[in-house]
Structure 1
Amino acid sequence: MNEEFGTIEREIRIDAAPEVVFQVVSDPEHVKDWWPDEAQYEPVPGKAGRIGFREADGTVQWEQFTVVDADPPRMFAFRWTHAEGEEAAKGNSFLVTFELEPVGAGTLLRMTETGFRERGWTEAVIAEEYAAHVRGWDFFVPRLPAAAAKAAR
């Protein structure tokens, strides 16, 4: 299997304190400012919920979402895309981790997403899913600074 489809990593500097950035990546109301259109979950480890992306026809495509870890203001991790009714675990979901490091008056955010190879998919499906997630994070991660500026107001 192609190892290059193992992890997506992004890094961005945000001109806001780690406490603000943590809220932006963990609190459902702030998360909606930069990522999904809908977010229904508690930012507490072990809590499950869902996030939704609005389609062109106005319907919402829901994805399952489970908080794995929350260590304010340093780290927030969740699993997503597992089937409804299933407990999120390695092999049925992607793991996304946001690590926050203070840098001057701002924050260095490191995002990783893993779990592509563990899904049991064919190489072609892994490549397709990986590429779709790369495109997604390339669109959504650059929206974080504006969301942090809005949250800091």
Structure 2
Amino acid sequence: MEYGRIERSMYVDATPEVVYEVISSPTHLKEWWPDDAAYEPSPGSVGTLTWQNDTGHDAVSITVVDAEPHSLFSFRWTHPADEAAAVGNSLFVTFELAPSGDGTSVRMTETGFREMGWEIAVLEQQYNEHVQGWDYHLARLGDYVTRLVARR
């Protein structure tokens, strides 16, 4: 296995406007992915994503790369808080949105694992953890959008 790229595609029964809001807004993001999120959904914004755990919390850095309303949202994450996000110190996530019938086709990719310079065992562990994480959280994204649209 190459451990270089995670790619997932899904259909969400909501407009690209709604889906974009859910994947780019910290308020919505924390409903399906991290426990807390602090950043501005605009290119160059730097912030944090935080998950609660048994010993307190884990916070990771996020830097927004692209924010094209209703079509593209991308960011680098997991870089050291005191360093600018770049190839080799962060992973790159892209959400591409396209209208599809009455809903939205979503393609999520995460890359940069091999560029991190990890030993093969760490690379394999990190890659597999992210595969499991995205499978879990993207299902939550779909569920959250369904609940959100039902409330509107």
In the TM superposition, residue 149 of structure 1 has moved relative to its aligned partner by 2.5
Q: Which runs of 5+ in 2 are unaligned?
A: none
What amino acid is aligned across from residue 145 of structure 2 in structure 1? Answer: A
Q: How do 1:27-106 and structure 2 match up within 5 A?
A: 27-57=25-55, 59-106=56-103
Given that 1:24 and 1:151 are in contact with CA atoms closer than 8 Å, whether structure 2 keeps it comes out as no
In the TM superposition, residue 93 of structure 1 has moved relative to its aligned partner by 0.3
Question: Counterpart of 1:21 in 2: which secondary structure?
Answer: helix
Q: Tell me the C-alpha RMSD between the 2 structures.
A: 1.0
1:129 aligns with 2:126: yes
Once the two structures are superposed, residues 104-143 of structure 1 have per-residue CA deviations (whole angstroms, 9 ceiling, x without a partner) of 1100100000000000111111111000100100110111
- Runs of 4 or more, structure 1, over 4 Å off, are none
User: Once the two structures are aligned, what percentage of the paired residues are identical?
Assistant: 51
In the TM superposition, residue 60 of structure 1 has moved relative to its aligned partner by 1.6
Given that 1:98 and 1:110 are in contact with CA atoms closer than 8 Å, whether structure 2 keeps it comes out as yes
Using the size of structure 2 for normalisation, the TM-score is 0.95
In the TM superposition, residue 150 of structure 1 has moved relative to its aligned partner by 3.4
Please give the alpha-carbon distance, in whole angstroms, between the structure 2 residues aligned to 1:37 and 1:44: 21
Once the two structures are superposed, residues 19-40 of structure 1 have per-residue CA deviations (whole angstroms, 9 ceiling, x without a partner) of 0000000000000110000000
Once the two structures are superposed, residues 13-70 of structure 1 have per-residue CA deviations (whole angstroms, 9 ceiling, x without a partner) of 000000000000000000011000000000010010000001034x121000000001
Correspondence for 1:15: 13
Using the size of structure 1 for normalisation, the TM-score is 0.95
What amino acid is aligned across from residue 45 of structure 1 in structure 2? Answer: P
What amino acid is aligned across from residue 87 of structure 1 in structure 2? Answer: A
Q: Which runs of 5+ in 1 are unaligned?
A: none
Question: Counterpart of 2:76 in 1: which secondary structure?
Answer: strand
Once the two structures are superposed, residues 55-102 of structure 1 have per-residue CA deviations (whole angstroms, 9 ceiling, x without a partner) of 034x12100000000111000000000001100011000000000010
Correspondence for 1:26: 24
Given that 1:28 and 1:39 are in contact with CA atoms closer than 8 Å, whether structure 2 keeps it comes out as yes
Please give the alpha-carbon distance, in whole angstroms, between the structure 1 residues aligned to 2:17 and 2:54: 34
Question: Counterpart of 1:78 in 2: which secondary structure?
Answer: strand
How many aligned positions are there?
150
